[in-house]
Structure 1
Amino acid sequence: MAKRKMTTSRRQQIHEATAAKRKKLGLRLNDLPMDILESFLSRLPIKDAVRTKALSCLWKHTSLCHKNLLFSSRTMMSQRSYTAYGTKSITAEEFVTRVNAVLQQHRGGGVEKFEVYFELENEYAEQIESWINFVISSRTKQLILDFSPTRSIKAPYSFPFRLFDATNGSHLQFLEVCSVSLKPPADFKGLVNLKRLHLVVVDITDEHIHLLLSNCNVLEFLGIYDCDNLTRLRTCHPSNQLKHLVVKKCYYLKEIELNYGLTTLEYGGELIPLSSPGKLLLTNICIDVRDICGAIEYLFTNLPSTLPHLKVLTLKCHEFERYILPDNPLKFIYLRHMRLELIFHGLWEKKTDALDFACLLEAAPLLENLELHMWMNCVHLRYRKNHGVLRSLPPCTHTNLKLVNITGFYGQKDQLELVLHILRNSVSLEVMRIDPKPYIAVGQPMMQPYEEFYFVDGSKVAMKYIRKADHRNIVNVLEVSRKDVENVSARRLIDPI
């Protein structure tokens, strides 16, 4: 039987009956309790929540109750903000107005995280201070003010320390500021419960940062990035709980005085002395100093000797000259994991010797994980028998080394000798991975022409000599053939993205 088509009048009757039924059951959205409506709005992004409130005059009385407030050009942007070229644009005045509008509709309280990412100068200090007052009254735990400029700032925003005292700042535990001026007064006593502090491109002096840190007695993490006015950093304080310190790109910094209880240090910049009042509890160190002319030299002369608890060491160095070991080198008796990123230089003649790094087996008797990431930015010669007999150092049995990871193995004679020495003397070794590709070369300004064929050389040498010496079947070599590298640049092979 063929179905009869529904007439327009019949559709209208069904629609009216359904609407009457909904009205009878009270299923209108506006009839929901206010707390349910506010809970629904809190699950929407800020921009969508504000738009939703405008759908009904009854919804205007509902409050926003988001726990995380993120204000940026993207979250505050409307569809009409697109320019003729399809890019997004919003002025500082529009941004400030929209943030104020959201905060006026917010219930306040219960805000866990407050973030601002927009280019703002001290011109908007009054509006920014009203936001900080909102943060204080809401008992917010995390505050991020990122005013990173796309151009130089005439007058960076001055952080209002006067708004924070022992009571007002007691709830703040995480603070990150970018492109601001930090000048706490001499009698500053706020931020007493701050645990993490990130300073990015801030205007702060040695005196001011010492004053700030001396009041943050429960601070556990301190990150300082690209702060040009710092010359000396003192983290040593009797009541300081600082455990993790990160300092990068502070090129005018001359010295860092480390806190006794510090456990993790990550430093990147110029070579400077690291001092301490006594033996340190440091267990993890990462050093990236581009003006170091040798990892071995830094390890045994510049690294603090007061590191009896060091377990993880990461060192990034440029190798220009060969260093002669002292008669009594340091011993890293607790070191478990060592990662070295080594760039060997030598335009016409390589003056360094990779076999020198065999001393690490003796210097770190409890080492379990060794990473050697190399890049031979120099004249390359793959080892052949006519280059001479392979050197062999006196036996140095290592009983704890279990994992060795080597990248940038080009098959040079000194590289081969080093790998064979580690393989023969590590009696507990479980896995040795060898990869010819120099992954640390990613981000370097230039790689040599046809360097991808060095990957083939390294693979051939590893397969011919190292696999032959592997009597325990623990060596894994990444094989690279000439077919794999033809018509593909070295950089693309290392980092396809």
Structure 2
Amino acid sequence: MDKESSQELLVENKIAGFSRVQKPDVAAMQLELLPYDVLRDILSRLSIKDVVRMSVLSREWRQQRICHPDLVLTKDTFGISTDMNTDPDLVPKDYFGIIKDMNTKRASRAAEFIANVDSVLRPLWSTCTTTTTTLDKFVVEFGLRRKNKYHIDKWVSFSIVSRAKHIAFHFTFDVDCFGPGCDQYKYVFPLCRLSGPSGSCVTSLILGYVERFSNTRDCFMTLRHLNMNLDIFLGPYDDSWVMGFVNLLELAPLLEELELHMDRDRFCFENPRTVLAAQGPPHRHLRSVYMSGFCDVLGLAELALYILRNATVLQRMVVDPVAGMMDNALTERFCSVRNGGSSEEIVFPTDGTQKCVGKKRMFAKNNLDKEEFCHVLTIL
């Protein structure tokens, strides 16, 4: 190779090397040039699945700490199957072996869901207790229990510091958490965290399959919509929980809409009992109430009577003896007072439970269907 050719080759290699060193990261540069509000707008136009996929695959997006304004984290978000069907040739033949296999799968899927949620939220924390992310909606829906408290507590904290207006934690009905002894396995929601200045942004709260909530004395001055699944099976055997709920209504003086859902398998006792309205102060903003799965559980009719007599601006109360909060309550809308309790959206019971539903309906009519309430009360 002659001298001139060698020099030309050397120059070309230097140019190529310089290009490799100096070549900018186009994706990162383009992200940095876009204003924060524009990035948020882009994300809001994508599905939550695409946003989660992008945050996992793109380091640049994670570094920008940009989040979809409606963060809805469910099994469908991460493509996690909850089908418990197993190959009969691969599972033990005895009953306890099958249950053990199902519990193992359930635990594995819960661990997968927790890891996925943490991977989405981890980049959004500025420190271990603060974030610059602001959300409109934060939803977690999966079959979790009290043993997952460490992770759930962090998610609750994130929902608060991100100033989410609509917060939902629905831990879904599960066959291994059913009956009067299942409360010990349910997550105790720290309602006190959402009261006072720290929770001042929350306007809508949905709680499903939690052990009710922790006590608090602070007010919920911004709360407008409360949706809860009481999930009472064969208890409680006293109505003390009602006063806690009346106290909660008192602490949310601007609440306008209330939805209460009983578990779907509650039956009605034969022996009638005397129902008296629970005692409490008037509520001056509650306009609409929907109760599903209405039955004779101690305290429920007393609570309904309290609301009918003390909610001074109440426009509509719908009492439905059918069903409770369904497993997909957060993603598919059930019958609500906001659409007038449309019968087209009611999940009717099977023939085997019609008699029980009839007894529940009769119990509701005997205790609530009074002339003074006829302008606001509808018993389905």
Give the TM-score range, shorter chain: 0.5 to 0.7
| Native 8 Å contact 2:163 2:201 kept in 1 | yes
State the Cα distance separating 1:105 from its structure 2 match. Answer: 2.2
* 1:265 matches 2:317: yes
* 1:197 matches 2:226: yes
| Native 8 Å contact 1:165 1:189 kept in 2 | yes
Quick check: which one's strand share is greater? 1
Given candidates 168, 171, 191, the residue that maps to 1:144 is 168
State the Cα distance separating 1:27 from its structure 2 match. Answer: 10
Aligned-partner Cα distance in 1 for 2:172–2:277: 24
The residue that corresponds to 2:369 in the other structure is 303
Inter-CA distance 51–263: structure 2 relative to 1 (3 Å threshold): closer
State the Cα distance separating 1:302 from its structure 2 match. Answer: 6.7
Aligned-partner Cα distance in 2 for 1:292–1:202: 16
| Native 8 Å contact 1:216 1:240 kept in 2 | no
The residue that corresponds to 1:110 in the other structure is 134
TM-score (norm 2): 0.59
The residue that corresponds to 2:145 in the other structure is 121
> What letter matches 1:144 in structure 2?
A
Inter-CA distance 31–245: structure 2 relative to 1 (3 Å threshold): same
State the Cα distance separating 1:169 from its structure 2 match. Answer: 1.8
Tell me the SS of whatever aligns to 1:115. strand
State the Cα distance separating 1:233 from its structure 2 match. Answer: 6.7
| Native 8 Å contact 2:72 2:139 kept in 1 | yes
Inter-CA distance 142–235: structure 2 relative to 1 (3 Å threshold): farther
Tell me the SS of whatever aligns to 2:122. helix
Deviations 1:401-439 (A, max 9, x none): xxxxxxxxxxxxxxxxxxxxxxxxxxxxxxxxxxxxxxx
* 1:135 matches 2:137: no
Inter-CA distance 74–250: structure 2 relative to 1 (3 Å threshold): same
Aligned-partner Cα distance in 1 for 2:301–2:373: 21
State the Cα distance separating 1:58 from its structure 2 match. Answer: 4.2
The residue that corresponds to 1:159 in the other structure is 189
Inter-CA distance 202–174: structure 2 relative to 1 (3 Å threshold): farther
The residue that corresponds to 1:423 in the other structure is none
Deviations 1:105-141 (A, max 9, x none): 2364320111111001111112111111111111111
The residue that corresponds to 2:358 in the other structure is 290
| Native 8 Å contact 1:265 1:286 kept in 2 | no
Aligned-partner Cα distance in 2 for 1:130–1:93: 15
* 1:213 matches 2:237: no
> What letter matches 1:262 in structure 2?
L
Larger radius of gyration: 1
The residue that corresponds to 2:67 in the other structure is 65
| Native 8 Å contact 1:112 1:141 kept in 2 | yes
* 1:244 matches 2:310: no
* 1:179 matches 2:179: no
> What letter matches 1:71 in structure 2?
L
| Native 8 Å contact 1:164 1:190 kept in 2 | no
Aligned-partner Cα distance in 2 for 1:165–1:302: 32
Aligned-partner Cα distance in 1 for 2:55–2:341: 51
State the Cα distance separating 1:286 from its structure 2 match. Answer: 9.6
| Native 8 Å contact 1:196 1:220 kept in 2 | yes
State the Cα distance separating 1:234 from its structure 2 match. Answer: 4.2
Tell me the SS of whatever aligns to 1:177. strand
State the Cα distance separating 1:172 from its structure 2 match. Answer: 0.6
Report the identity percentage.
Answer: 23
> What letter matches 2:189 in structure 1?
F
State the Cα distance separating 1:75 from its structure 2 match. Answer: 0.3
Given candidates 66, 74, 77, the residue that maps to 1:75 is 77
Aligned-partner Cα distance in 2 for 1:233–1:111: 39
Deviations 1:325-355 (A, max 9, x none): xxxxxxxxxxxxxxxxxxxxxxxxxxxxxxx
Which runs of 5 or more structure 1 residues have no equivalent in the other structure?
Answer: 1-19, 271-283, 317-497
State the Cα distance separating 1:53 from its structure 2 match. Answer: 4.5
Inter-CA distance 291–47: structure 2 relative to 1 (3 Å threshold): closer
| Native 8 Å contact 1:286 1:313 kept in 2 | no
| Native 8 Å contact 1:183 1:208 kept in 2 | no
State the Cα distance separating 1:152 from its structure 2 match. Answer: 3.6
The residue that corresponds to 2:29 in the other structure is 31
Aligned-partner Cα distance in 1 for 2:373–2:248: 27
State the Cα distance separating 1:158 from its structure 2 match. Answer: 0.2
State the Cα distance separating 1:236 from its structure 2 match. Answer: 5.6
| Native 8 Å contact 1:249 1:269 kept in 2 | yes
Which runs of 5 or more structure 2 residues have no equivalent in the other structure?
Answer: 1-18, 88-104, 125-130, 267-274, 323-339, 347-356
| Native 8 Å contact 2:220 2:253 kept in 1 | no
Aligned-partner Cα distance in 2 for 1:77–1:293: 40
State the Cα distance separating 1:103 from its structure 2 match. Answer: 1.0
CA RMSD, aligned part only?
A: 4.2
State the Cα distance separating 1:190 from its structure 2 match. Answer: 3.6
State the Cα distance separating 1:206 from its structure 2 match. Answer: 1.3
Aligned-partner Cα distance in 2 for 1:103–1:208: 33
Aligned residues: 270
TM-score (norm 1): 0.46
Quick check: which one's helix share is greater? 2
Aligned-partner Cα distance in 2 for 1:50–1:161: 28
Deviations 1:150-178 (A, max 9, x none): 21424111011232331112111111111
